[in-house]
Amino acid sequence: MRNKSLLMLLLVVAVPLSIYSQAKQKKYVVKVVNSSNHDKTDNPVVISLNDIKCDFKIKSAVVLKGNQEIVSQLDDLNQDAKYDELAFVTDMAANSKENFTVLFSSEKSTKVYKARTFAEMMAYNGKGKLAYITSFSAKGDENVYSFTHHHGPAFESELVAYRVYFNEKQTIDPYGKFNKGLEINATKFYPTDEQLKAGYGDDVLRVNNSCGIGAFKGWDGSNATHIQPVIEREERIISSGPVRSIAQAKVIGWEYKGNEYNMINRYTLYAGHRDIVIDVIFDEKLGNVNFSSGVQKLKENSSMFSDHKGLVGSWGTDFPVNDTIKYAKETVGIGTFIPKQICGKEHADKENYLYEISAPGKSSLRYYTTFTSKKESFGFKDDKEWYDYLKIWKSELETPCTVEVKAL
């Protein structure tokens, strides 16, 4: 009798425990519409988790197109241990629509997807070896440019790779590839002689004091200016694939035109893309203050293109590094697109072709930059091809797919 009573007690306790251990789930349908006349390959679809009002903490997600799972990722953008966005990419034919099912869960997933992007940040550990880090910060007047390997975070898709300098320049510097694929984990941005012979890519542009590939700059009325002085700098890897890699540079107390700004420059590179989405985020609304960005002027066989409506590009050749014996000259194309809502006057200074940027009354702004290396087996062979591509690129950015999310 005693054993029977004990069994009944265990059953009573076990039932509610099993209920509480079950993962919470919620299902949504996501409708994506491409109303443009462009086919869109690897079109990014991003869902803000703040907008869907899920009643539990989301720890994993599955995206389905019919019965087929689509590779996706969840990202915590502000480092508060809560996911902020779900992202995936999908091909969208011109004038088409697709429905996807998204299942969110309160339970973590151990699933691993094949990565199509990669990001890393590394520092020297004092023993001559490199250690992977997620972020690093320093006082604004400290020279820590060489503390981090490849001078800041590096990130890549199958097509291209970039790094962001950890200093007042915050220049975006490119790495060109011969063939499609992920390389930075192997080469660490500096390929060995053996890797070069095997067909790996490498640094293809000497950026000097320019804006390089669309870096965000100040504007003094005549020239682009670096982001200095500041109280503190931080650079960070937010995510490293599989769908997108995100890096960011943050400054506290940037003294600029009589004000102090706290600012994040966030760089997002999607699978299948060569262009970076650049989000500039301030902690307060901006007044009537101008910044700038654009493309670097190239040294030899150079040309430039502008539609005088926010799109600017350049093409040309130069040595990528100061070592002109070991390394050959490289030819690259660059493009930057400033949307009309934030685009100001067009300029050229000693180093760059630029547009002024302003966003009065806003605390954030977004623009885009991209590049190609002539040595790509899959790229563009002259400036005409490159500038024709930039026009299409701008048109596609101006006609994004719409995304509608509904709970089931």
SS3 sequence, 27-60? EEEEEEEECCCCCEEEEEEEEEHHHHCCCCCCCE
pLDDT number for residue 232? 98
pLDDT score for 393 = 98
Cα distances (angstroms) measured from residue 21 to each of 8, 9, 16, 24, 54: 20, 19, 9, 9, 19
The phi and psi torsions of 398 (rounded to 5 degrees) equal -80, -10
pLDDT of the residue at 146: 86
Residue in 143, 327, 332, 134 with CA at minimum distance from that of residue 237: 134
Which one-letter amino acid corresponds to residue 385? Answer: E
Going by C-alpha positions, the residue among 268, 292, 280, 260 that lies closest to residue 362 is 280
Which DSSP category does 141 fall into?
A: T
Whole-number pLDDT of residue 154: 97
- Whether the ω angle into residue 174 lies within 30 degrees of 0, i.e. cis, is no
CATH of the structural domain 118-377, one choice from 2.70.98, 1.10.357, 3.40.50, 2.60.40: 2.70.98
Q: Residue 69 has which token pair? A: 């799972």
Bin 345: left if φ > 0, else alpha if -120 < ψ < 50, else beta: beta
Which amino acid makes up residue 276?
I
E strands present in 22-157: 25-34, 40-48, 60-65, 68-70, 72-75, 85-92, 96-105, 118-120, 122-124, 130-132, 135-139, 154-156
pLDDT of residue 327: 82
The domain made up of 24-109+403-407 has a fold known as Immunoglobulin-like (2.60.40)
- Give the model's pLDDT for residue 22: 80
Q: What does the pLDDT read at residue 8? A: 41
Q: Which pair of structure tokens corresponds to residue 316?
A: 């040309």
> Is beta strand 217-219 parallel, antiparallel or unpaired with respect to 291-296?
antiparallel
DSSP per-residue letters across 164-199: E-SSTT--EEEEE-SSSS--HHHHTTS--HHHHHTT
**DSSP E strand stretches across 257-310:** 259-270, 276-282, 291-296, 300-306
Considering the entire predicted model, what is its pTM? 0.93
Residue 163, pLDDT score: 97
Q: Where are the domains of the chain?
A: 24-109+403-407, 118-377
Which residues share a beta bridge with 377?
none
Taking the C-alpha atoms of residue 227 and residue 233, their distance in angstroms, rounded to an integer, is 10
pLDDT, one tens digit for every residue, the chain (408 residues): 444 444 443 343 443 433 344 889 999 999 999 999 999 999 999 999 999 989 999 999 999 999 999 999 999 999 999 999 999 999 999 999 999 999 999 999 999 999 999 999 999 887 778 999 999 999 999 988 888 899 999 999 999 999 999 999 999 999 999 999 999 999 999 999 999 999 999 999 999 999 999 999 999 999 999 999 999 999 999 999 999 999 999 999 999 999 999 999 999 999 999 999 999 999 999 999 999 999 999 999 999 999 999 999 999 999 998 877 788 899 999 999 999 999 999 999 999 999 999 999 999 999 999 999 999 999 999 999 999 999 999 999 999 999 999 999
CA distances from 100 to 15, 27, 244, 272 (A): 35, 11, 19, 20
Token reading at 373 = 């290396």
Q: How far is CA 154 from CA 21, 29, 239, 244, in A?
A: 40, 35, 11, 13
